[in-house]
Homo-oligomer: A and B are copies of this chain.
Amino acid sequence: MAKDHRQVQRDRVVVVGAGFGGFQTAQSLSGANADVILIDRNNYSTFTPLIYQVATGQLEPTLVAYPIRTKLRGMKNVRFLQAAVDRIDFDNKLVGTHAGLVPYEYLVIATGTQPSYHGVPGAQEHTFTLKSLQGAIALRDHILCCFEQAAIVKEIEERQRLLTFVIVGGGATGVEVAGALAELLQGAFRRDFSELIGLERIVLVQSASSLLPEFSQQLGNYTHRKLERMGVEVHLNVKMAEVTAASATLSNQQIFNTATVVWAAGIQAAQPDLAQPVKEASKGKLVVRDTLQLMSHPNVYAIGDVAYFERLGKPLSGVAPEALQQGVTTAYNIRRQLKGKLPQPFGYWNKGRLAIVGGYGGVGRIAGIDFGSFGAWIMWLIVHLTYLPGYRNRLFVLLTWIQNYLLGDRAIRQVSSQIRHTASSRGHK
Which residues on B sit within 8 Å (CB–CB) of A350? Answer: none
Query: Which residue in B65, B83, B148, B395 is a CB contact (below 8 Å) of A399?
Result: B395
Binds B, one of A40-48, A118-126, A240-248, A317-325: A40-48
Contacts A148-B82, A418-B134; A403 near B411 (Cβ below 8 A): no
Across the interface, do B152 and A43 meet the contact criterion of CB distance under 8 Å?
Answer: no
Within 8 A of B (CB), among A42-65: 42-44, 60-63, 65
What's the minimum C-beta distance from A40 to chain B, rounded to whole angstroms? Answer: 10
Q: A229 on the interface (CB 8 Å rule)?
A: no
Across the interface, do A413 and B67 meet the contact criterion of CB distance under 8 Å?
Answer: yes
CA distance A99 to B150 in the complex (A): 11
Across the interface, do B415 and A43 meet the contact criterion of CB distance under 8 Å?
Answer: yes
What's the minimum C-beta distance from A262 to chain B, rounded to whole angstroms? Answer: 20
CA distance A167 to B34 in the complex (A): 42
Which residues on B sit within 8 Å (CB–CB) of A191? Answer: 69-70, 73
How many of chain A's residues have a CB under 8 angstroms from any CB in B?
A: 55
Which residues on B sit within 8 Å (CB–CB) of A144? Answer: 43
Q: A153 on the interface (CB 8 Å rule)?
A: yes
Contacts A2-B152, A69-B192, A148-B43; A83 near B419 (Cβ below 8 A): yes
What's the minimum C-beta distance from A180 to chain B, rounded to whole angstroms? Answer: 17
Query: Which residue in B66, B399, B413, B419 is a CB contact (below 8 Å) of A70?
Result: B413
Which residues on B sit within 8 Å (CB–CB) of A2? Answer: 152-154
Which residues on B sit within 8 Å (CB–CB) of A98? Answer: 419, 421
Across the interface, do A392 and B418 meet the contact criterion of CB distance under 8 Å?
Answer: no
Which residues on B sit within 8 Å (CB–CB) of A411? Answer: 62, 390, 392
Within 8 A of B (CB), among A128-158: 132-134, 137, 144, 148, 151-154
Contacts A73-B191, A152-B1, A400-B392; A414 near B60 (Cβ below 8 A): no
What's the minimum C-beta distance from A413 to chain B, rounded to whole angstroms? Answer: 4
What's the minimum C-beta distance from A211 to chain B, rounded to whole angstroms? Answer: 32
CA distance A134 to B415 in the complex (A): 10
Which residues on B sit within 8 Å (CB–CB) of A413? Answer: 43-44, 67, 69-70
Query: Which residue in B60, B81, B392, B419 is a CB contact (below 8 Å) of A62?
Result: B60
Q: A396 on the interface (CB 8 Å rule)?
A: yes
Q: A416 on the interface (CB 8 Å rule)?
A: yes
CA distance A271 to B192 in the complex (A): 29
Query: Which residue in B43, B153, B395, B414 is a CB contact (below 8 Å) of A414?
Result: B43
Within 8 A of B (CB), among A404-427: 411-419, 421
Which residues on B sit within 8 Å (CB–CB) of A238? Answer: none
Within 8 A of B (CB), among A378-414: 390, 392, 395-396, 399-400, 403, 411-414
Within 8 A of B (CB), among A68-82: 69-70, 73, 81-82
Query: Which residue in B83, B390, B417 is a CB contact (below 8 Å) of A134?
Result: B417
Q: A3 on the interface (CB 8 Å rule)?
A: yes
Taking CB as reference atom, which chain B residue is nearest A66? B414
Across the interface, do A82 and B419 meet the contact criterion of CB distance under 8 Å?
Answer: yes
What's the minimum C-beta distance from A291 to chain B, rounded to whole angstroms? Answer: 32
Kindly supply a per-residue 1/0 record for chain A positions 92-123, scoring 1 wherever the CB is within 8 Å of any chain B CB and 0 otherwise: 00000011100000000000000000000000
- With A84-B418, A98-B419, A99-B152 known, 5 other A-B pairs at CB within 8 A are A1-B154, A70-B188, A82-B419, A100-B152, A396-B396
